[in-house]
Amino acid sequence: MIETEGLSGADTLLRVLAHMGVDRIFASPGSEWSPVWEAFAKAKAQSEGVPLYITSRHEEIAVGMASGYAKSTGKLPAVMIHTTVGALHATMALRGALHEQVPMVVFTGESLGFGEEPGPDAGAQWLGALADIGGPARLVDRCVKWSHGVNAKSLLPSTIQRACQLAVGSPKGPVFVSIPMEYLFDKMTKNASAENVPVPAPMADPAAIEELAATLANAKNPVIITEEAGRSTAVVEKLVELAELLGAGVIESRASGYVNFPRNHPLHGGFEPQEFLQEADFILLLGVITPWHPASKKLGQGTKVAVLSEDPLRSDLPYWGYPVNQILTGEIESSFKHLLECVKKRVSKGNTDATRRAETWRSRHEQRKAAWKEEALIRKDQKPIDTRWITYELAQVLPPDALVVEETITHRLSIHRYLDMLKPGTFFAGCIGGLGTGTGTALGVKAAYPKRPVLCLIGDGAFNYDPGLAALGVCQEHQLPIMIVLFNNYGYHSQKSGVPRFFPDGFAVRNQDFVGISINPSPDYATVARAFDGYGEKVEEPGEVRAALQRGLKAIAGGQMALIDIRLAKAAETNERPDRAN
């Protein structure tokens, strides 16, 4: 039993969260949280262990930090944001966490009494400016896994516990709880249960796993496609073992938000799954969202497809549509462990077929890597600077213990290709279907690993969506020095790409008149970094890229955040399609 009877709702919130394993609260301040701030001061004075409170200055930064913390540690974070208006600020980042299945429990306040109930008056602002019909829980319910407004103070302790369990339950995701300010002041009438019951992780059906193992063992050319296996380094280790046992290639999609397979491994097949759809006789989709596009793309004659995931048909999406012959629903780590053991019973290590397949994949891998290196090196003197040269040079100086967060669209493929030294558990995407959370995600990773170098690779378009001033303020206030590498093409290259694709002979292409894609003139972003006691540098010469990156790394090693603004060709002036290597 957790002693909560007689405590204020604010004291109860902190005590129950600590009991549920939450050790960080990322927050964007709201006036409703004054009882909680008093509870923090009380806990500190009385040496009571409560989660660490980290203020973030903006709701998207708070949710982004929680996302980065959860991805990099596997722990459950909490978030405190302002009521309806703050909840709406947070919804883009919450939607990203929902689709990425990132667990967090998000709290906001509201008022139910509007000054008419006994006790402290929450204030006139609630009736005049902050209240909406249905409360904040209604506003965000499409962007989270579960959304609820607490409607009785006796339910507050158990609701906090339930929210934590729902967040880490399969499939994981953000949950949202709105707590009336009146309950935060009020005394609780019940104790909370002492049980912190682990959420069971159901394994896929053992019979189905046996069937999948048999199919893999008998396949002539099996291929594994994954986007999310890298959530767990334990899964990646088993995936390497399975791939080596079968001599099977493992392909990531360019949308991968993790390192799902060692990228310097000879069985790594690159980032274009559609290249192998015709030759594979069996395809295993392991934790994927969109392995290829369109979903109806033609497969080889007789090719079979199996999918293994916690939510294999992606019930959160309006359409999935991939032709699958076997569907396995279950938690990936336990299911894959059982799959590997089943395959080991059927396939001997070093068998002839696997060796032959592995040699083919090794040859392809080496050719692909050599071609990518050549693509970068022939651009070493190119001005404006090319993305491939930036990422190649970054690979030469990146510290071995670095953690990398990426929020780009047009530069992502180069980042995947050239930063092949990144190990599972060291790379995290900072966006999905929207921009604005990259710097927050990087700060969350830095909060988890304050002694390791953390880099945020971000486009100038994404940086303008991010709450940049808030992010730099968090770096300064909490001494979380990250290095921001800005891929600055003066605009939105991804937005331009549709025009020549849909209207190749149109007026825009003929006249080089692309409307609405420019961020020009480009501001001196380096100056903004210096305003927050950071190190800032603008780079326009390709020969200066490596030295500038080294100076930025030196700055963060000394406790100073850094922003390296690297100028590329202007989006409005380049004709290269952004969905290619650049």
Tell me the pLDDT tens digit for each residue of 298-310: 999 999 999 999 9
Instruction: Indicate if the pLDDT at residue 581 is higher than 70.
Output: no
Contact 576, 426 (CB under 8 A): no
Q: What is the pTM of this model?
A: 0.94
Sheet of 78-81: strands edge to edge? 52-55, 24-27, 78-81, 104-110, 174-180, 146-149
Measured between alpha carbons, how far is 255 from 408 in angstroms, rounded to an integer? 11
What fold, for 378-567?
A: Rossmann fold (3.40.50)
pLDDT score for 203: 93
Measured between alpha carbons, how far is 244 from 241 in angstroms, rounded to an integer? 5
DSSP 224: E
Instruction: Indicate if the pLDDT at residue 275 is higher than 60.
Output: yes
Instruction: Indicate if the pLDDT at residue 198 is higher than 90.
Output: no
Give the bridge partners for 226, in sequence order.
252, 286
Reported confidence tier of residue 122, pLDDT bands at 50, 70, 90: confident
Measured between alpha carbons, how far is 248 from 244 in angstroms, rounded to an integer? 7
What fold, for 9-185?
A: Rossmann fold (3.40.50)
Measured between alpha carbons, how far is 82 from 55 in angstroms, rounded to an integer? 12
Residue-range domain boundaries for the chain: 9-185, 206-365, 378-567
Per CATH, 9-185 and 206-365 having the same topology is answered yes
Q: What is the pLDDT of residues 501-510, one digit of tens each?
A: 888 888 888 8
DSSP string, 71-137: HHH-PPPEEEE-SHHHHHHHHHHHHHHHHHT--EEEEEEE-SSTT-SSSS---THIIIII--TTHHH
Whose structure tokens read 């309950």?
183
What top-level class would CATH report for the domain 206-365?
alpha beta
Least confident segment among 200-204, 256-260, 389-393: 200-204
